[in-house]
Amino acid sequence: MKLKPYTLILFSALCLQGLSTDESYASEDKRELVTDIFNTSKSLETAKYEGADTHHCTAIMISPKVGLTAAHCKDGGFEQNKSLGTIYPGSSGLSTNAGNMTISTFNPYDGADIALIKGENPSTAYTHYMRNVDIDVKGFNLSDLEGKKVYSIGYPIDKGGRKQYKTEGVITSTYNNQSMMTTLQSTGGQSGSGVFLKENDQLIGIISQGNLNGTIVQPINRRISDWISIKK
C-alpha cells in the first residue's frame, strides 16, 4: 500500500520524536470528563463526527457551518454535495442538546493530516447554540511554540465515544514545521480534536494520532492557515 505524504511525515515524527507505541509502557490515563459543555472553553465547538463510512472522529468547528478534522477521518479524499456524515457539537453521552448538522463537504489539505468540513441542514438546536461560533485561525512558526502548555477536547472511543474528555500537556518538540510532539494523551476517536494554547485559547492544530504516552499534532502553519482562509 502506498503511504500518503502526511503519513510518511508523521511516521518520521514518531521515530524522531520518540513516541512509544508499546502499550505495556502506557502512562496513567489523566484525561478528564467534561461535565459542563456550555461553560467549558471550546467544549461546545468540539463536535463528535460520525462519518458515513463508519469513521468516528472529532471535529472542531471554527464557524457555524465550517470546521476542521483529521484528513484520515474519511476515505476517498475530496467530496462535496452529498451526505458525508453528521456532527454533534458539545455531545455528552446520549444528550445532544446543541443539535446536529449534516456534513456535505470534506476537503483534505494535500500533504497534511487536516481537512476542512462544511455542513448544511442544521437542526433548530444547532442553529441556536452554534450561531456565534467564531474561532480565529492563524499560522505559526512552530519553533516558537516549543514548551507551550496546550489542551484538547475530544471523544475517545475507549471511553465509549459519546462523552467529551479533556487532556492537557506541553509541546515538547516540532518537526520540519509540519508536526508537533506533545504530552497530550489521546486514543482512537480523538483524531481531529482541536489543540489550543492554554495561555490564550488560540487554536494551533488538531490531533493526528497518539496514545497515553504522547500525541502528534498536525499544526496549522502559515500555508495551511492561508488555505483555510481561502476554502472556508
* pLDDT tens-place string over residues 186-217: 999 999 999 999 999 999 999 999 999 999 99
Residue 184 pLDDT more than 80? Answer: yes
Which range, of 89-93, 99-103, 123-127, averages the lowest pLDDT? 89-93
Give me the pLDDT at residue 19, please: 52
Q: Which cell numbers in the block locate residue 19?
A: 513516541
CA distance 137 to 116: 12
* Segment 34-82, tens digit of pLDDT: 999 999 999 999 999 999 887 899 999 999 999 999 999 998 899 998 8
Sign of dihedral through CA atoms 94, 204, 150, 201?
Answer: negative
Q: Degrees (nearest 5) of the Cα angle 31, 36, 38?
A: 125
Per DSSP, the residues of 197-229 read: ETTT--EEEEEEEEETTEEEEEE--HHHHHHHH
Residue 167 has pLDDT above 80, yes or no: yes
Which range is least confidently modeled, 30-34, 174-178, 201-205, 224-228? 174-178
Distance separating the N- and C-terminal Cα atoms of the chain:
32
* 185, three cell numbers: 494523551
Residue matched to cell numbers 488538531:
206
Start-end of CATH 2.40.10.10 domains in the chain: 29-35+137-223, 46-129
H or E, element range at 48? strand 46-51
Note whether 107 and 119 are within 8 A (CB).
no
Domain 29-35+137-223 in CATH 2.40.10.10: yes
Q: Are 103 and 118 in contact (CB under 8 A)?
A: yes
Alpha-carbon gap, residue 189 to 62, rounded angstroms: 19
Give the largest Cα separation in the chain, rounded.
Answer: 47
Tell if the pTM clears 0.85, that is, is over it: yes
The domain made up of 46-129 has a fold known as Thrombin, subunit H (2.40.10)
